[in-house]
Amino acid sequence: MEVKPAIFPHEQKNHVLLTWAQSMNGKIGYKNYSDDEKGNLFLGQLKISCKESFRMTHGLRASFDAIMVGSNTVRNDNPSLTCRYPHPEDSTCLAPLSMQPIPIIIDSHLSLNYASLKVMELARCGLTKAPWIVVAPSVIQRKTKDAQLQERWNCIEHYGGQIFVRDQEYPENWKDYVHLEKLQSNGASRIMVEGGATLLRKAFESNSFDSLVVTIAPKMFSDEETIGISYLKHLNLNHALWIPCGSDILLTTYKHFPMELLQLK
């Protein structure tokens, strides 16, 4: 039976969900091999979750206003950050534009080459919403003297994206760093934070989230090649739900977890 993805119009506004996929030993992605500009080696996305939990993630995306990711994740994975429901494995099977989440990238120094990103290309084709980028205030000054920065700024705006300049250069608090209040008041009320490790860790440390959905796959990856997450030991899991999903397990503290997303054939 085909079920529509759950949308929760009556659910509370201003919700932050942290979500990621990890192996049993907590690995979430390949390490970035820094040496940029000159031969940086990006290994791409580490395949972790099974197809059922992958589909669950895409169903969940349909009920959020935005997906937030860190700059390293975009640099390393070049993700499309789309809702491809109900066939996420098919990159051409995009949900309608109204169901697409806004991609939000935390990129303080406008360090990414926006013209070459998948999120930009999809927005340019009118298939998805254009990204929102959060930058530090110094970018405003720097771009007047730096043609490359100005070009990136123009590229984002040209394709309908928005740039949010936060108040402080390096605020301590996660909410200030990602300019959460401003994003939410502009319409990205319900945000899924999908990684990477640093952005999630900072949100965890400042206790800036409402719920969690973690996909745990029956896999192990090596310490040499991959980076991990070890936050779960800091959580009070008394009220967590553990839900089988294909060969994976979902750990969720999400109060209104859309169980129907797990009942799809």
Ligand X SMILES: NC(=O)c1ccc[n+]([C@@H]2O[C@H](COP(=O)([O-])OP(=O)(O)OC[C@H]3O[C@@H](n4cnc5c(N)ncnc54)[C@H](OP(=O)(O)O)[C@@H]3O)[C@@H](O)[C@H]2O)c1
**Contacts to ligand X by CB under 6 A:** 20-21, 28-30, 32, 45-46, 48, 69-73, 76-77, 106-108, 174, 177-178, 194-199, 202, 227
Answer for the pair 179, 53: CB distance below 8 angstroms, yes or no.
Answer: no
Of the two residues 3 and 43, which places its CB atom closer to ligand X in the complex?
Answer: 43
CB-nearer residue toward ligand X: 65 or 77: 77
Least separation in angstroms between residue 1's CB and ligand X is 28
Cβ nearer to ligand X, comparing 34 with 98: 34
Nearest distance from C-beta of residue 106 to ligand X, angstroms: 4
Measure the CA–CA gap between 85 and 96, rounded to whole angstroms.
9
Q: Which residues contact 137 (CB under 8 A, 6 or more apart)?
A: 165, 166, 167, 168, 169
- Alpha-carbon distance of 183 to 187, in angstroms, equals 7
17 closest CA partner among 203, 258, 237, 185: 203
Q: How far is CA 84 from CA 2, 44, 181, in A?
A: 15, 19, 28
Q: Which is nearer to ligand X, 96 or 242 (CB)?
A: 242
Least distance CB 73 / ligand X (angstroms)? 3
Task: Kindly state the smallest distance separating residue 214's Cβ from ligand X, in Å.
Answer: 9
Q: Which is nearer to ligand X, 233 or 265 (CB)?
A: 233
Task: For the CB of residue 221, give the shortest distance to ligand X in the complex, in Å.
Answer: 10
